[in-house]
With several copies, the nearest count.
Chain A
Amino acid sequence: MTTQMSKAETQHMIAKRVALELQGPCTVNLGIGIPTLVAEYMTEDNIYLHTENGLLGVTDVEEADIDPNLVNAGKLPVGEAIGSSFFNSSDSFAMIRGGHVDVAILGALQVDETGVIANWAVPGKNIMGVGGAMDLLVGAKKVFVTMNHTSKDGSSKLLKECTYPITSTRQVDMIFTELAVFNVEDGQLKLVDLMPGATIEEVREKTEAAFIE
């Protein structure tokens, strides 16, 4: 990128771009991190947010209205929309695994050139948490992934093959980074958009995975 953005600015830029892809009516599950920010940029009022800890109809909450027993999957305080409902964890994952959630937006550590992602474990570190990531990947009708295009050392996170343990054999549908937006079509990455300030040359240089321009 030629312009220098703060980490927060970059995250918001990605979240805003993801929001453009959401058309209601639909139900969306937001992962922790950048995905959570997507809610701020959704423009349609018939998009409902599902959180796997047991609420359909997540909204923002004002500081004064915070309820410690009303949180999202990141354990952050949320509000409840009109028409929302509460349910237990098995009913919540029945919704996810059973294919009743339209879109899951997840973070990823790596993605391979067929759209398979790794987002739950790093080799050599203790494998300590998986949460709902594997369930969302097998169950959501569409999966959108937000991620940094490169590691701190500059190496690509869009790889020929994931070096970290994969989260599912399922290929995701769209990938959003600070440089570019890709569709996954027939098991191939297809560049569909450049992010503000990014050039096609930079994307080519920083993407190990093969992609269709």
Chain B
Amino acid sequence: MSKIQHDIQQALSYVKSGDTVLVGGFGLIGAPLTLIDGLTEKDVNDLTIVSNNLGESGKGLGILLNQNKIKKGIGSYFTSNRDVGDKYQRGEIELELLPQGTLAESMRAGGAGIGGYYTTTGVGTDLAKGKEEREIDGVKYILEKAIRADVALIRAHKADTLGNLVYYKTARNFNPLMATAAKTVIVEVDEIVEPGELNPEEIVTPFIYVDFIVKAQQILTKEGVVSV
């Protein structure tokens, strides 16, 4: 069975109401814009979205937010979208704020069969409240739990038809981690090539992590997001 999906909604059929969904990107950079766009057109709700930001006001995940499809956001920097704060104050969304390194590491842990880990980040701050503190070899750490999800929507630069992925510059960010931490992984890419065209030493995400591949129809350019 080919992993390549030509129909975005078909690919997104794996996203169900109530799911936890990892969404790649640092702001719009490296975000799966085509898949996010598809999600805004899909009848789905009560989603828990794990993503560094919840888009910008009225853009990307921001549209999903305004559609009231997001029950909870887990991220490190919601400030980039003022609507998040407004919704939070009205009690319309739950938020879990994590340091950016913890957000990344928790997904890596989730993908690697690690249940939790002790990190120095956040010790003694408000973000450590309710978290176990422990001293190991004279250093204070807090316990952070792994993050795993139902679906990951990610973006890569190229995929081969097996599902091996390479990324492009700082559009890599959270995407390779999210590829490891979800039951179903859907990737959108600029280009699909034949197996053997990607250098085996250079593949960042081996194909076992990827379930479906779609071609990007929304691209970030200097002039903003354009449809192709």
What total of A-B pairs shows CB separation below 8 Å? 195
- Residues on the B chain within 8 Å of A82, using CB: 195-196
Q: Restricting to A57-85, which residues have a CB under 8 Å from any CB of B?
A: 57, 66-71, 75, 80, 82-85
Shortest distance from the beta carbon of A60 to any chain B beta carbon, whole Å: 15
Q: Are B206 and A56 in contact (CB under 8 A)?
A: yes
B88 part of interface (Cβ distance < 8 Å): yes
Q: Are B207 and A93 in contact (CB under 8 A)?
A: no
Bound form: Cα–Cα A169–B141 in Å: 12
Q: Are B172 and A165 in contact (CB under 8 A)?
A: no
- Residues on the A chain within 8 Å of B30, using CB: 69
B78 part of interface (Cβ distance < 8 Å): yes
Q: Are B203 and A85 in contact (CB under 8 A)?
A: yes
A128 part of interface (Cβ distance < 8 Å): yes
Instruction: Mark A131-175 against chain B: 1 for CB-CB distance below 8 A, else 0.
Output: 111110011000000000000000000000000011111000000
Bound form: Cα–Cα A166–B127 in Å: 10
B116 part of interface (Cβ distance < 8 Å): no
Q: Are B177 and A97 in contact (CB under 8 A)?
A: no
Bound form: Cα–Cα A69–B160 in Å: 21
Q: Are B99 and A88 in contact (CB under 8 A)?
A: no
- Residues on the A chain within 8 Å of B101, using CB: 52, 89-90, 92-93, 96-97, 132, 134-135
Q: Are B104 and A88 in contact (CB under 8 A)?
A: yes
Which of B's residues lie within 8 Å of A, judged by CB?
1, 26-27, 29-30, 52, 76-80, 84-85, 88-89, 95, 97-105, 107-108, 110-114, 119-127, 160, 162, 164, 167-177, 180, 195-196, 200-201, 203-204, 206-209, 220-222
Closest 3 A/B residue pairs (Cβ): A93-B101, A97-B113, A129-B79
